[in-house]
Amino acid sequence: MTGLLDRFGRRATDLRVSLTDRCNLRCSYCMPPEGLPWLPQPDVLTDDEVVRLIRVAVERLGVTEVRFTGGEPLLRPGLVEIVRSAAALRPRPRIALTTNGIGLDRRAADLRTAGLDRVNVSLDTLRADRFVRISHRDRHDDVLSGITAAASAGLTPVKLNAVLLRGINDDEAGDLLAYALAHGYELRFIEQMPLDAQHGWTREGMITADEVEAALRTRFGLTPDPGPRGGAPAETFLVDGGPAKVGIIASVTRPFCGDCDRTRLTADGQVRNCLFATQESDLRTALRSGADDEELAERWSRAMWMKKAGHGIDNPDFLQPARAMSAIGG
């Protein structure tokens, strides 16, 4: 098996599957308050189609890790069954979920039983008023109960993702880490990327990895994690000598494209070879026109071969992708 190689020698083994472009929040760095025109339902892959493409990726293309995302993946009615089917594949992939946590309290145990290994829950603030300001929905309590339920269900270590926004929650780096440490969660800060539908991102508005690190150092000792980083996007630090860790994902200021091992499938069956790709490869049409597994695998490989060396946010001719983060699958 040659797998999902590109022209620069990278091999994609980590598949991000977006299960829906819909969401019950409206985080300002992702979607406008009024939402977006959702994908027409007939365009969205059925559960069987999603599972078939994951099977092709695992059995024929060397994918070893499958992460479900969105939009909000917990809004997908068939999620538990999709996870169960992915867990039945051989070689069994590791299975993870990125979610805003709303509704996780009701489904964490079923997801665990179905084969989910790990979960990342997005939590940008510990303050309910700020949560409303960032996400335009009053659901902070639901997110917190989702996080607790994930830990109780054994989806550990629970990872938390936080995006800091200037003048809104950028004074919470230390408090978020203290909260994560107190509960045994692993926190990662993500630099805000130009992927919001409103095109409101500015470099000046972004809280940089350096700023996050400096803020954390006023309260905690941080030492670089001696463990291997591999293709992981987060730079990790031991907190106060360890074993607790904190991660910072400096996608913009310290890009890690050279080590990227990702491939992405959108809810409407398009392969994206990069979060920032401006072109996609349509697997849905091939799938629905009767392509066999071999042809689907070949199309997927061809799409990955064309992956660019880097995202090019710093290039003067950088073009933000037409799809927003919620429709790509973060």
| Binding region for ligand SF4 (CB under 6 A) out of 3-11, 67-75, 111-119, 146-154 | 67-75
Per-residue contact string for residues 166-185; x = within reach of ligand SF4 by CB under 6 A: --------------------
Q: Kindly tell me which residue out of 193, 265, 283, 287 binds ligand SAM, with binding defined by CB under 6 A.
A: 193
Half-sphere CA count of 45, side-chain side, radius 13 A? 27
Helix intervals (H) in 37-127: 47-61, 79-87, 104-114
Task: Report the nearest approach of ligand SF4 to the CB of residue 201 (Å).
Answer: 14
Nearest to 265 by CA among 275, 278, 251: 275
Contacts (Cβ under 8 Å, ≥6 apart) of 217: none
Contacts (Cβ under 8 Å, ≥6 apart) of 150: 101, 104, 108, 119, 121, 156, 158
- Residue length of the chain: 330
158 binds, among ligand SAM, ligand SF4, none (CB under 5 to 8 A by kind): none
Taking CB under 6 A as the rule, does residue 160 contact ligand SAM? no
Task: Report the nearest approach of ligand SAM to the CB of residue 325 (Å).
Answer: 4
Contact, 321 vs 12, CB < 8 A? no
- State how far the Cα of 305 lies from the Cα of 295, in Å rounded to an integer: 15
- State how far the Cα of 227 lies from the Cα of 296, in Å rounded to an integer: 36
Taking CB under 6 A as the rule, does residue 246 contact ligand SAM? no
Taking CB under 6 A as the rule, does residue 73 contact ligand SF4? no
Using the minimum distance from each CB to ligand SAM, give the nearer residue, 6 or 124. Answer: 124
Nearest to 257 by CA among 10, 67, 15, 64: 10
- State how far the Cα of 217 lies from the Cα of 240, in Å rounded to an integer: 10
Contacts (Cβ under 8 Å, ≥6 apart) of 325: 29, 30, 193, 195, 196, 275
- State how far the Cα of 243 lies from the Cα of 238, in Å rounded to an integer: 6
26 binds, among ligand SAM, ligand SF4, none (CB under 5 to 8 A by kind): ligand SF4
Taking CB under 6 A as the rule, does residue 23 contact ligand SAM? yes
Taking CB under 6 A as the rule, does residue 146 contact ligand SF4? no
Tokens 């700020």, residue? 130
Using the minimum distance from each CB to ligand SF4, give the nearer residue, 14 or 21. Answer: 21
Taking CB under 6 A as the rule, does residue 269 contact ligand SF4? no
Taking CB under 6 A as the rule, does residue 215 contact ligand SF4? no
The β-bridge partners of 281 are 271
The footprint of ligand SF4 on residues 21-50 (CB under 6 A) is 23, 25-27, 30-31
Taking CB under 6 A as the rule, does residue 273 contact ligand SAM? no
Nearest to 27 by CA among 163, 170, 181: 163
Task: Report the nearest approach of ligand SF4 to the CB of residue 152 (Å).
Answer: 22
The footprint of ligand SF4 on residues 108-127 (CB under 6 A) is 122
Q: How many residues bind ligand SAM (CB under 6 A)?
A: 20
Q: How many residues bind ligand SF4 (CB under 6 A)?
A: 13
Residues near ligand SF4 (CB under 6 A): 23, 25-27, 30-31, 70-72, 100, 122, 325-326
Residues near ligand SAM (CB under 6 A): 23, 29-30, 69-70, 72, 98-100, 122, 161, 163, 190, 192-193, 195-196, 325-326, 330
